Structure 1
Amino acid sequence: MAQPEGTLPPGGPLDSPRVFKLVLLGSGSVGKSSLAFRYIRNEFRSILPTVGCAFFTKVVHVGTASLKFEIWDTAGQEKYHSVCHLYFRGAHAALLVYDISSKESFLRAQQWLRDLESEILPGDVVVMLVGNKTDLDEERQVTVQEGKEFADSKGLLFTEASAKLNHQVTEAFQAVAQELLRREERVAQTQKGDPQVLLNEGPHKQAKCCGR
């Protein structure tokens, strides 16, 4: 279990950061654990398949706001699939990961999304589709356009990344953090009676991490 805590930025808030549960979903060997280790520890490891679920925490700063991610790295093997559904409950966000060099993992990611939506109402969770392993671009089986089109059709954030090369990893988690805070602010405004705020507004399409 990794529990690194970020330092508070100068002039930042002194209150406890808000806690958000984030789950990593996808087939085995797509690099979910590698993404988590790169983000949490800035390390790359060739990791054995996760058994059950691994847990990490990290404090994230977005401007003067802070939040704490509780990151649940679920096992991708089929034999753990039914157990992983238990970790969907109470999730605020999800990284839906596939391997760009494996068409099968991309199709399986779509099934993982259906499984998530069967447990949680659509729109209640911030979901980012992540095409991992851009370092294997010569072996690519899923184009950027295919990933983006699927993400757009489901209202998901999207990026491609490489845990090995440390490409777009931090940016992916940061975009999810920004979207979570944006939605929280929108709900707070609605509770104050702001008629211009729409509860069903989809994810912010200008996330800087999107694209290659």
Structure 2
Amino acid sequence: MAPRTASFKLVLLGESAVGKSSLVLRFVRDEFSDFRESTIAAFLTQTVPLDDSTNIKFEIWDTVGYKSLAPIYFRNANAAVIVYDITQASFDKAKSWVRELQRQADPNIVIMLVGNKSDLKASRKVPRELAEQFAKDEELLFTEASAKTGDGVDGLFMSIAKKLPLAAPKTPGSSGVKVANTPKSEESQRACTC
């Protein structure tokens, strides 16, 4: 029997130039470029196998870093990835994105805090322990990753996939979860060795 595919809306949030688009392009296309223009908004999908019977299809909204537009993107989102750059003072901004989601998003949203550019350890400004403690206090998922090297990128999305409410998905439209049986050969499916 073909595995079912459950679709979930995921939004990427964070300040400009922290690497949101680079993370998602590494995940979806396994690509990286040092020279990327600022994103206005982009929509990409990626399907990963959760287990033998279920695939997770991420419907990823890569957003511009303007708070005024954010509610448009995270309406009906099942998950959010909030990105900061470990080499910049973008961590405080990431914390304010968390507060924004806690205030306006669905209370069951899965939130992952990601410290990007972990390959630049010599330029680190944000101690990992500080971010880990904040994530623990706020009951968020947390990891560091590098869009440049790919380190931790697949793992962060798989961590989110494992936390999504698969046990009793609601009807399409009520929670953003859509379930369908999909053949394993689906073109966008990608094996994740996390």
The normalised TM-score by structure 1 is: 0.75
Give yes or no for the alignment of 1:134 onto 2:134. no
Q: Kindly indicate which of the two structures has a greater share of residues assigned to strand.
A: 2
Give structure 1 regions of 4+ aligned residues with deviation exceeding 3 angstroms. Answer: none
Partner Cα distance (1:12, 1:154) in 2: 38
What SS does the aligned partner of 2:67 have? helix
Contact 2:145–2:151, Cα closer than 8 Å, also in 1: yes
Q: Kindly indicate which of the two structures has a greater share of residues assigned to helix.
A: 1
Name 1:113's counterpart in structure 2. 98
Superposition map of 1:14-163 within 5 A:
15=4, 17-45=5-33, 46-51=35-40, 53-64=41-52, 65-76=54-65, 80-102=66-88, 104-122=89-107, 124-163=108-147
Name 2:188's counterpart in structure 1. none
Partner Cα distance (1:168, 1:99) in 2: 14
Which of structures 1 and 2 has the larger relative contact order (alpha carbons within 8 angstroms, sep 6+)? 2
Partner Cα distance (1:118, 1:54) in 2: 24
Q: CA deviation at 1:184?
A: 2.7
What SS does the aligned partner of 1:153 have? helix
The normalised TM-score by structure 2 is: 0.82
Partner Cα distance (2:8, 2:98) in 1: 19
Identity, in percent, stands at 46
Contact 2:77–2:106, Cα closer than 8 Å, also in 1: no
Partner Cα distance (1:169, 1:86) in 2: 25
Structure 1 unaligned spans of 5+: 1-10, 189-208
- 1:19-71 Cα offsets, whole Å, 9 max, x none, are 100000110000000000000000102311111x1110111111111121100
Name 1:174's counterpart in structure 2. 158
Kindly report the root-mean-square deviation, in angstroms, between the aligned alpha carbons of the 2 structures. 1.5
Partner Cα distance (2:134, 2:2) in 1: 37
Partner Cα distance (2:105, 2:70) in 1: 14
Partner Cα distance (1:107, 1:170) in 2: 25
